[in-house]
Chains A and B, each alone.
Chain A
Amino acid sequence: MPSTRLHIRRGGPGEAPRHDVFDLSFEPGESILDALRRLRISADPTLAFRYACLNANACKECMMLLDGKVIYACTARLEARDMRLDPLPNKPLLRDLATAIAPPDERLD
């Protein structure tokens, strides 16, 4: 099985940015979301990121940055290399990779 090294941005608004590093092996074809969900079960349940539909690419909640480019975590594939994940830069940060993406009139802040 190939393995990947994920550098995941952690923390909330106002905290000094830091990236935690997680190594994990994967089956070819698996998505970044597959890896993040597995990490919550096996390594760190406090990791924050957004998703709802898992597979269908219907909810569009899982947007984040991979190496600086906007992706859907559920459709971007894992690769056997260092991969850096950051929250969307143009949305208010909630925590880790999760940002406030709902339209402002659908939020209760």
Chain B
Amino acid sequence: MLAAIEATRHGAGSVLLLDRSLIGRGGATVMAQMTVAAAVGPGDHWQYHLADTLAAGRGLCDPELAALLCRVGAECILEMDDWKVGWARQGNGFAQVQAPGHDRARCVYVDFLSTGPAVSRTLRTQLQRQGEGIRRLGEILVTDLVVQNGTVTGAVALNVATGQPITIAAPATIIATGGLTRLYARNSASANMSGDGYALAARAGARLIDMEFVQFFPIGHLAPRLIGMDPIMWDPFRYKLGGRLLNGAMQEFVERWGGDAEDGTYSTTRDLATYAITKEVEAGRGSPNGGAWLSFTHVPEATLRAAFGPVIDRLAANGIDLTRDCIEVSPIAHYHMGGIRVDPRMRTDLPGLLAAGEAVGGANGANRLSGNAITEALAFGRIAGAEAARIAALPAPAFNPAAAAPALALLSSTASMRNIAALVARLQHLMAQHVGPFRTAAGLNQASTALAALAAELGTAPPGTPGIPHDLNRQDWLDLRQMLLVAEAVIIGAIARTESRGAHQREDFPALSPAWERNLLLRLPAGATHLELA
């Protein structure tokens, strides 16, 4: 949304904003409940934020992209404040909390657990203020880009509401499709996070970077079943109230796996907490459902209420009383550090194609600091929008409908009925089992073989006939086609990287190797069906 706003502000006369879901409601942004990191507090500077970001990235951050995230991101946070997003206040400034890995309290938020909805709402309002220049269309699922002599000239998409294909001509296209965590059985994703953008870019011929780095969020909600709240909601509780992470025997354990004693504070980084919980469960000391306990029973009720007000009632509706009950948590797929390779102007390898947000790889290296993702989405959206406006004003090749023909033919094709939802579920389980935070050559190779079997079952055309409104089975097919390519990218990267670093941990190569302080790039050669290291 910010990319579209910025393109208009930079003179683009005609912007088309497409979303496979409702505009501004289908992705991760609206779901984010927590905090946003930006150097906007007294005494802070974006370079301090950059130093923390680079340290967390364990040598793999693209320093230019990381610097843009921190510098432009802070500007965006202030602009969002001008736009009345409602960042929580303390005294004369913003209320800011300290998240693990940051050297100070740097994370702004909107109470109570409303950061994402507030950000989305604010951007939507600004979008509408731009008037006729931006056309917004929801329920348009982009399935392929149109490429003419190496230049991206538009896209082919499915109109979900009618089941009919459409083509779009554009002198500049920005991929801002978010991440890939729907690949995993346990995730914090929406239905729209199948990694479409990575697959779109790769199929068009652009390179992907760092695809092996999937961030697992250590304390995703596990049990009891909690509805109406996103599974990573315990993080803000930990920021504000500390809380205690305990094993099945109600003992603290993070120290045992190399962490520092927490003493009721929240100081363990995501990769370490994920490791500690997984190892504790493997050692047979997990909670009943295979995770760890999180306890706030030592926090007085008045303190809980002051910090989270209405959320305490929502928990009560789920039968959870934090003064009495511990909850079970375990790692879930949450964010993807890798993505489409771009330059500091968000241009991909292909003329006419840009990327923004979580779809971009490289800014966060091997591990992302908490709060950096919304900042990244805003900063890169702003840069990409301005650059796209500049590109759109230059002469561009005329759109050639023939270049869109194969992608249109796919959407118009017919095949026998099959249950694709079940195949998606199989992929999710296989990724969770073999390509989670802890990997081995044997497991990754098994995953690779299983992926080939799924690809064979997928076939070459979506099930049923075109033209059926809201046909989830055909959509699942189109999604699985992209997910299989994206899963292959993660697996190839994970097999190649024979070391452990940040979010990528190889049990057969447990040490960090200085020789591996480099990025892995992948490309899909023209006409090929499998990715290669580039």
Contact = CB atoms under 8 A, between A and B. Distances in A.
Contact of B469 (A51, A95, A108): A95
Given A40-B421, A52-B22, A106-B23, A45 B191 contact: no
A29 B30 contact: no
A98 B470 CA distance: 7
A96 B468 CA distance: 12
**Chain B interface secondary structure, helix, strand, loop or mixed?**
loop
A55 B470 CA distance: 21
A94 B22 contact: no
B227 A74 contact: yes
Contact of A51 (B33, B191, B318, B419): B191
B231 A59 contact: no
Contact of B117 (A27, A58, A100): A58
B136 to A, nearest CB: 5
A45 B227 contact: no
Interface in A48-78: 48-61, 72, 74-75, 77
B162 interface: yes
B31 A58 contact: yes
A28 B33 CA distance: 26
Interface residues of B, number: 49
Contacts of A27: 225
Nearest to A56: B230
A55 B21 contact: no
A61 B21 contact: yes
Contacts of A29: 224-227, 318-319
B473 interface: yes
B422 A41 contact: yes
Interface string B153-182: 000000101100010000000000000000
A9 B166 CA distance: 30
A75 B317 CA distance: 11
* Interface of A (DSSP majority class): loop
B476 A45 contact: yes
B267 interface: no
A100 B417 CA distance: 25
Contacts of B225: 27-30
Contacts of B470: 48, 50, 94-96, 98
Nearest to B464: A46
Interface string B73-111: 000000000000000000000000000000000000000
A44 B372 CA distance: 40
Interface stretch (B137-145, B342-350, B380-388, B408-416): B137-145
Contacts of B117: 58
Contacts of A56: 30-31, 33, 190, 228-230
Given A53-B31, A58-B230, A74-B228, A106 B471 contact: no
A4 to B, nearest CB: 15
A57 B23 contact: no
Interface in B121-160: 136-140, 159
A107 B22 contact: no
Interface in A1-50: 12, 27-31, 37, 40-42, 45-50
A75 B191 contact: no
Contact of A109 (B116, B162, B229): B162
B191 A52 contact: yes
A57 B190 CA distance: 11
A100 B162 CA distance: 10
Given A52-B192, A57-B229, A107 B161 contact: yes
B161 A55 contact: no
A94 B469 contact: yes
B487 to A, nearest CB: 18
A16 to B, nearest CB: 17
A46 B473 contact: yes
Interface in B203-248: 224-231
Nearest to B422: A41
Nearest to B319: A29
Contacts of B58: none
Contacts of A46: 417, 464, 471-473
Contacts of A94: 161, 469-470
A46 B463 CA distance: 10
B533 interface: no
Nearest to B26: A52
A105 to B, nearest CB: 7
A106 B421 contact: no
Contacts of B224: 29
Nearest to B231: A55
A83 interface: no
A50 B139 CA distance: 11
B420 interface: yes
A98 B160 CA distance: 11
What 9 A-B pairs are tightest by C-beta distance, nearest first? A29-B225, A56-B230, A75-B228, A94-B469, A98-B470, A57-B228, A40-B421, A45-B419, A94-B470
18 contacts: A29-B224, A41-B419, A45-B472, A51-B191, A52-B22, A53-B31, A54-B189, A55-B188, A55-B228, A56-B229, A57-B227, A57-B229, A61-B26, A95-B468, A98-B469, A106-B136, A108-B137, A109-B162
Interface of B: 21-23, 25-26, 30-31, 33, 116-117, 136-140, 159, 161-162, 166, 188-192, 224-231, 318-319, 417-422, 425, 464, 468-473, 476
Given A75-B227, A106-B137, 20 more contacts: A27-B225, A40-B421, A41-B421, A52-B22, A54-B191, A55-B230, A57-B227, A57-B228, A58-B31, A59-B30, A77-B227, A94-B469, A95-B471, A101-B22, A102-B22, A102-B139, A105-B136, A106-B22, A108-B139, A108-B140
